[in-house]
Amino acid sequence: MSKRLEIAKDVYYVGVNDRTKHLFENLWPLPYGVSYNSYIIDDEKRALIDTVDVCYSDQFFQKIVTAIGDKPIDYLIVNHMEPDHSGSIGLLLGRYPDIQIVGNKHTVKMLKGYYGISENVIQIEDMQTLNLGSTTLQFYLTPMVHWPETMMTYLPEKKMLFSADAFGTFGTLDGGVMDSQLMPERYRSEMIRYYSNIVGKFGSPVQTALKKLAEVPIEAICSTHGPIWTVKENIAEVVGLYDRLSRYEGENGLVIAYGSMYGHTEQLAELIAAEAAANGIRNIVMHNLAKSHISDVIRDVFTYKGLIIGSPTYNNKLYPSVESLLSALQNRSLKNRFFGYFGSFTWADASAKQLAAFAEESEVELVADPVVMKQAMMDEVEEKALALARSMACKLLTGAAVSSDKKTDCH
């Protein structure tokens, strides 16, 4: 029998840990696992907020019984319909047939589409409330953070925000479930990776949601993944992190991501990194794209303001993993970055041209002329690589804002 986890008076955590799955969405590595968080409010009327992945339904139902015994559940609040949170709805209805499901107009359509559910469904509007007895739930619609039906549920009497996937992170909850019981700093990198990989495309909707909630007093953030944030400083940090990431605002550092078949392009990458360091850049992250997982590269690109990408020509195109990275960054509408690029070829240059097209199509600022190497390193190529590194270092150290210009002078 599981232990009852009360996170506030009459509010219980009934989520589960997934230490088995290798890939989230069959795409993103889970070296530290992931949690699927669900919550119960035990009032005159009882409300369950979200369910869990169907693979963990047995644990989930045990935790519900541990929290409220054989009491009925009156409402299921569906903040998010993604199957890792809605997957147990069908089984839940089998156990609690009189439960009413609460969601917005998009939720209602998805309930029918995914599970064939159309009865006992309450459709709510933005800012609508639902009385449970001594407590009230208020619903904030936050579409495209990161699905169209996504909403957040606020419990004003306890100043608790049930935030769906927002402010979530990869990583299981080991022992405790609240930040005061854990080491929250271990989740920071995984929160950035979660945001950049899962939510990253939707910076504008995230900004809209943050503005909507700006005046709402919050003493606990209960996400569907990761710790429950209750410490004032931690709440400020995670909200600030989401604000910064959704504005595509990078920290002062440099990512150099490259593909290389025989080491010549990598030689350029090493030279550029060494010169950037010699010119005062201490926070440099290098990714050989044949080895680094794209999930980690995306995280670092979202973290740092400087980005340099290099690729050899491969079958008259970019090196495949470089091409995949550019596609991922374009898909996430990356902007506000200082950018440089380098390419190499043996008999026909294509990589530099396609990297130039990426720079032209993206909201990035080109800091120097590109470096193009034919076959092997020559003095002229080396000087251009050093110049690129110095220009990037200058831009990062002066802290200049990214302008709308595609090229800038920095001497």
Tens of pLDDT along 153-183? 999 999 999 999 999 999 999 999 999 999 9
Q: Residue 376: which pLDDT band, with cuts at 50, 70 and 90?
A: confident
Residue type, 120: N
Separation CA 170–CA 152 (nearest Å): 19
Question: Is the preceding omega at residue 287 within 30 degrees of 0, hence cis?
Answer: no
| Predicted local confidence at residue 185, as pLDDT | 93
| Predicted local confidence at residue 1, as pLDDT | 55
Which has more pLDDT, 205 or 318? 205
pTM for this model (two decimals):
0.92
Q: Residue 348: which pLDDT band, with cuts at 50, 70 and 90?
A: low
DSSP label of 243: H
Q: Which of 320, 304, 271, 310 is nearest to 287 (CA)?
A: 310
| Predicted local confidence at residue 168, as pLDDT | 96
Mean pLDDT for the stretch of residues 47-62: 97
CB 401 within 8 A of CB 248: no
Question: What does DSSP say about strands 335-345 and 304-314: parallel, antiparallel, or unpaired?
Answer: parallel
Q: Is the pLDDT of residue 292 over 70?
A: yes
Place of tokens 């270092």: 393
Q: How many alpha carbons fall within 13 Å on the CB side of residue 84?
A: 17
CB 339 within 8 A of CB 368: no
Mean pLDDT for the stretch of residues 223-230: 98
| Predicted local confidence at residue 406, as pLDDT | 43
Residue 289: other Cβ atoms inside 10 A: 22
Q: Is the pLDDT of residue 109 over 50?
A: yes
Question: What does DSSP say about strands 28-29 and 11-13: parallel, antiparallel, or unpaired?
Answer: unpaired
CB 59 within 8 A of CB 16: yes
Q: Is the pLDDT of residue 112 over 90?
A: yes
Q: Residue 353: which pLDDT band, with cuts at 50, 70 and 90?
A: confident
CA angle 114, 115, 116 (to 5 degrees): 110
Q: Is the pLDDT of residue 315 over 60?
A: yes
Q: Is the pLDDT of residue 32 over 50?
A: yes
CB 382 within 8 A of CB 271: yes
Q: Is the pLDDT of residue 60 over 90?
A: yes
| Predicted local confidence at residue 404, as pLDDT | 41
CB 213 within 8 A of CB 140: yes
| Predicted local confidence at residue 346, as pLDDT | 64
Q: Is the pLDDT of residue 262 over 90?
A: no
Mean pLDDT for the stretch of residues 378-398: 91
| Predicted local confidence at residue 155, as pLDDT | 98
Tens of pLDDT along 302-313? 999 999 999 988
Mean pLDDT for the stretch of residues 39-46: 98
Domains and CATH numbers, the chain: 5-246 (3.60.15.10), 251-398 (3.40.50.360)
| Predicted local confidence at residue 407, as pLDDT | 44
The encoded tokens of residue 208 equal 């809209």
As a whole-number percent, the residues of the chain with pLDDT over 90 amount to 85
Mean pLDDT for the stretch of residues 207-218: 97
Q: Residue 371: which pLDDT band, with cuts at 50, 70 and 90?
A: confident
DSSP SS3 for 384:
helix
Tens of pLDDT along 141-154? 999 999 999 999 99
| Predicted local confidence at residue 8, as pLDDT | 97
Mean pLDDT for the stretch of residues 387-407: 75
Place of tokens 């936050």: 142
| Predicted local confidence at residue 351, as pLDDT | 82
Q: How far is CA 34 from the centre of its chain?
A: 13
Separation CA 403–CA 337 (nearest Å): 10
Minimum mean pLDDT range among 15-19, 270-274, 349-353: 349-353
Separation CA 206–CA 163 (nearest Å): 12
